Structure 1
Amino acid sequence: MTGSPAPDFRIETDSMGDRQIPAHTYYGIQTLRALENFPISGLKPLPTYVDACVLIKKATALVNGELGCIPQDISAAIVEAADEVLQGQWRDQFVVDVYQAGAGTSHHMNVNEVLANRALEILGAEKGQYQRLSPNDHVNYGQSTNDVIPTAIRIGGLLALHHSLDPALEGAIAILEQKAEEFQDVIKSGRTHLQDAVPVRLGENFRAWRYILQDHQRRIHSAAADLYALGLGGSAAGTGLNTHPHYAQRVASVLAELTGQPLTPAPHPMAAMQTMAPFVAVSGSLRNLAQDLVKISHDLRLMDSGPKTGFKEIQLPPVQPGSSIMPGKYNPVMAEMTSMVCFQVMGYDSAIALAAQAGQLELNVMMPLIAYDLIHSIEILGHTLGALANRCLGGITANRDRCLAYAEGSLALVTALNPHMGYLNAAAVAKESLTTGKSLRQIVLDQGLMTPAELAQVLDLEAMSQLQGTPPTP
């Protein structure tokens, strides 16, 4: 490019030549090239992912300054710029599409350029004066996309779990236990194969869901433990080329302080760079949670179906009108939304699995996809569970009379008669009840198969629905 730049532009240079950069932007020439190359989805990096990258840059600036690898004033300026971003400033400057150059070089340079140009201003220089403070030589000293991005995915995943999914799971678990206590005396018909089954307690339905979520929380935590080992310091190919001997240990320690997570250097940086297995494991645990959330959301919809022609054993809180044409209709929208989010998480898990196997030799170049899909999965599951708990689960009420009517009318009560008259005789009683409409009690008494006292004891719904191995309800 020749001549002077236009008034609202500055000139930046990279190995491919010169370009005009809008004067107000903090990103630079490599980000501009990425914007031109990847106008794909309109999806920008998730804020949590940006935070993870900027935390890495803050930690590396601190450590490289302490070790004498970069000047102290430059280290301090980069740290100040990083803190501004972490406090919410300059967020509109992280602009590279999710679908971009392999390994995440474009996003990585976007981060380096924003921090470098803001740090230049802090030092009293102008944006683009990279001979004073460079995105590559200072912000990125001792680093490579190849070790920064997998580290950012680890930190981003841990941040998302800590700030989003864990609190939401805890809240949902607590509400389910509250509902279990509230509905412990409500007896309803169980159903297997969508057919009548023996009576159960509505409270135990909710308590079962509580235990299911607790188990998933444990599995997610177990998988997430693999995210603590950082390959940062491996540099371009895992050898640590161009890094200080104490850099890897020190930067992991500083990042642990900044994030509050028990981060440590990976025992083998090359392995940490090549394998995406920790991300696949966490994603798999999220998929597992999503599958059970779909089942729970479907159960809620079935139990609330009606109001006149369905089960209507429970009432989900109406949160919005349900139809543009049918007045007075309310739909189980929070449960429906939950299923849709879970389907998306399952799709993300499949994409992550495919991307994880697509690496070659010293690098997996599909990391931008893994970064977005994994962190987004964690966060939308957290948001979903929070909304489901607060807008649906907490406001559920029980239709006690309807539950009891279904329980008393269920042919599956005949199961309790098996030990007293045998399976075939009990089956004959059930068949006659279905054919004639007579109650099980009436048929057994008419045929003299049991005395009234014996029958009352055997068909005691309170006792039948009591969860075995637990004390009777007071």
Structure 2
Amino acid sequence: MADDSSRLETDSLGPVTVAARHYWGAQTQRAIRSFAIGPERMPMEIIHALGRIKRAAALSNARLSVLDEQRCGWIVAACDEVLAGGFDDHFPLSVWQSGSGTQTNMNVNEVIANRASELGGGQRGQKRPVHPNDHVNRSQSTNDVFPAAVHLAAADGVQQQLLPSLGELITALTGKAAQWTDVVKIGRTHLQDAVPLTVAQEVGGWAAQLHDAERRLRDSLAGLHALPLGGTAVGTGLGAPTGFGELVCEHLRQGSGHNWHVAPNRFAVMGCHDALVDLMDRIGQLAMGLHKIVNDIRLLASGPRSGFGELRLPANEPGSSIMPGKVNPTQCEAVAMATVQVLGQSSAVTMAGCGGHLQMNVYKPLLGFNLLRATALLRDCCRSLRVHLVEGLEVDGEHIGNLRDRSLMLVTALAPEIGYDAAARVALHAHAHQLSLRDAALSLGVITAERFDQVVNPRAMAHPDLQNNDSEHLYG
């Protein structure tokens, strides 16, 4: 029984008591009890995307004469308040609910209906002039509006948050590479010495890898633009007037920066969610790229005296509670953990994408939740990595030069001159007797000192497309 601090709400199963301060209704209240699973709440990005769709749906329904102008105005005004964040506390439901997202769709319908009823001079609950199903959900089904909301939220997250943050990181890496074009270092394959390259080439490779990931993410947005709106329950459009989906997409396109349109085949985008899986796969590829880069950085910064020691990390915080003066690759470790988390989310999304049964995929909330959380996580990773590591990253040029000049793999330049077998003898002789390559080659009599200095030129080896005599050799 309701009292002054509560009210009665009803749905098809009967009355439910709801706290008076809440704008949700009976179905939301039931869902709070039925789906008390985990701490994860439906992302507010999906809630707001549903609000955008409900707003566009009301305008479209009014234009198609299936909703009166007065109720349309109240619904639009209520949606505007929801989109402004004024009702964020009234969307309490767990991600782990119906695989269609029905409980969240009704949560949004109920909040908008109760607020619209207030704006129309009515009350929340049983005496409201705006009904959550008959008016707010008019011409719609959870099965078409919820996946459409995930598309809207995911596309905005990528375009407005992740891509700008990623672009700034790429710019920072490119800028660092430009500073280090003259720093020649030894390369490493299999974690063993290899032939030389410049630090700019190494860092530029990281930037290029991220640039490719950025391009793939941009390409994936087009797949999200096809929406199932107007398909209602199974894709046929039962209960929606002709042209409803097209009108809703027209409203959604305005000022969005996205080409929202009705999918050519709504059955396909309701029974499966391949576009969302594809986007998550590309987010996972970015995670793999970031993971590789931070692992490279912490290897190259290891030491500083007992490891590679080629890079100097910014000292953001003390690295140890017991070892004074220690600086650890904490940004690398944080990003590495976050990217592993994203790869796990990507695996979950792939499995969820397999969850289509006949006319419906029943993993929609999981798809939306993981996509949005992964997008936000990598956005923050790109920003933190740029601000707290890349922008303060330095090289130890002297140490890099010492490691380069001691490397036996500079012998690679001798192979075309004296043959592979003779060059191998030089390297093995130098290693066995702790000689420089130059001294080993001269002691074996396989080349003259003058010719050795001409051939074994690390700077030229890093730029084989240039003439050797255009680069200053580093031996002699």
Tell me the TM-score range normalised by the shorter chain.
Answer: over 0.9
Give me the whole-angstrom Cα distance separating, in 2, the residues matched to 1:250 and 1:78: 17
- Match of 1:146, as an amino acid? N
Give me the whole-angstrom Cα distance separating, in 2, the residues matched to 1:452 and 1:470: 20
Give me the whole-angstrom Cα distance separating, in 1, the residues matched to 2:388 and 2:48: 29
Question: Is 1:25 matched with 2:22?
Answer: yes
Partner residue, 2:226: 229
Partner residue, 1:340: 337
1:335/1:24 CA distance change after superposition, 3 Å? same
Which of 257, 263, 267 pairs up with 2:264?
267
Q: Is the Cα–Cα contact under 8 Å of residues 460 and 466 in structure 2 kept in the other structure? A: no
**Deviation at residue 224 of structure 1 after TM alignment:** 2.3
**Deviation at residue 448 of structure 1 after TM alignment:** 3.0
Question: Is 1:370 matched with 2:367?
Answer: yes
Partner residue, 1:153: 150
Which of 287, 292, 302 pairs up with 1:290?
287
- Match of 1:464, as an amino acid? M
* Structure 2 unaligned regions, length at least 5: none
Q: Is the Cα–Cα contact under 8 Å of residues 48 and 159 in structure 1 kept in the other structure? A: no
**Deviation at residue 198 of structure 1 after TM alignment:** 0.8
**Count of aligned positions:** 471
Partner residue, 2:109: 112
Give me the whole-angstrom Cα distance separating, in 2, the residues matched to 1:301 and 1:470: 34
Give me the whole-angstrom Cα distance separating, in 2, the residues matched to 1:157 and 1:470: 50
1:124/1:467 CA distance change after superposition, 3 Å? farther
- Match of 1:301, as an amino acid? R
1:126/1:205 CA distance change after superposition, 3 Å? same
Which of 140, 145, 150 pairs up with 1:143?
140
Which of 301, 306, 315 pairs up with 1:309?
306
Cα distance per residue 1:376-405 (max 9 Å; x no partner)? 111211111111112111110011011111
Partner residue, 1:277: 274
Give me the whole-angstrom Cα distance separating, in 2, the residues matched to 1:15 and 1:57: 22
Matches within 5 A, 1:116-135: 116-129=113-126, 131-135=128-132
- Match of 1:184, as an amino acid? T
Matches within 5 A, 1:436-451: 436-451=433-448
Cα distance per residue 1:95-148 (max 9 Å; x no partner)? 100111221001111111111111122222221246510111111100000001
**SS at 2:105's partner residue?**
helix
**SS at 1:196's partner residue?**
strand
Which of 74, 89, 92 pairs up with 1:77?
74
- Match of 2:315, as an amino acid? P
**SS at 1:103's partner residue?**
coil
Question: Is 1:62 matched with 2:85?
Answer: no
Give me the whole-angstrom Cα distance separating, in 2, the residues matched to 1:340 and 1:399: 27
**Deviation at residue 473 of structure 1 after TM alignment:** 8.5
Question: Is 1:356 matched with 2:327?
Answer: no
**Deviation at residue 53 of structure 1 after TM alignment:** 1.3
Q: Is the Cα–Cα contact under 8 Å of residues 176 and 203 in structure 2 kept in the other structure? A: yes
Partner residue, 1:300: 297
Give me the whole-angstrom Cα distance separating, in 2, the residues matched to 1:156 and 1:473: 53
**SS at 1:185's partner residue?**
coil
Q: How big is the alpha-carbon RMSD for the aligned residues of Structure 1 and Structure 2?
A: 1.7
Q: Is the Cα–Cα contact under 8 Å of residues 10 and 25 in structure 2 kept in the other structure? A: no
**Deviation at residue 153 of structure 1 after TM alignment:** 1.2
**Deviation at residue 466 of structure 1 after TM alignment:** 2.0
Matches within 5 A, 1:117-266: 117-129=114-126, 131-266=128-263
Q: Is the Cα–Cα contact under 8 Å of residues 164 and 383 in structure 1 kept in the other structure? A: no
- Match of 1:137, as an amino acid? D
Give me the whole-angstrom Cα distance separating, in 2, the residues matched to 1:43 and 1:91: 15
- Match of 1:338, as an amino acid? V
**Deviation at residue 446 of structure 1 after TM alignment:** 2.7
Give me the whole-angstrom Cα distance separating, in 2, the residues matched to 1:468 and 1:26: 70
Question: Is 1:322 matched with 2:319?
Answer: yes
Q: TM-score, normalised by structure 1?
A: 0.96
**Deviation at residue 452 of structure 1 after TM alignment:** 2.3
**Deviation at residue 467 of structure 1 after TM alignment:** 6.3
The sequence identity of aligned pairs, in percent, is 38
**Deviation at residue 445 of structure 1 after TM alignment:** 2.2
1:473/1:131 CA distance change after superposition, 3 Å? farther
* Structure 1 unaligned regions, length at least 5: none
Q: Please say which of residues 118-127 and 340-349 is displaced more in the overlay.
A: 118-127
- Match of 1:356, as an amino acid? G
Give me the whole-angstrom Cα distance separating, in 2, the residues matched to 1:468 and 1:141: 67
Q: Is the Cα–Cα contact under 8 Å of residues 228 and 263 in structure 1 kept in the other structure? A: yes
**Deviation at residue 66 of structure 1 after TM alignment:** 2.0
Which of 392, 409, 413 pairs up with 2:389?
392
Q: Is the Cα–Cα contact under 8 Å of residues 120 and 129 in structure 2 kept in the other structure? A: no
**SS at 1:20's partner residue?**
strand
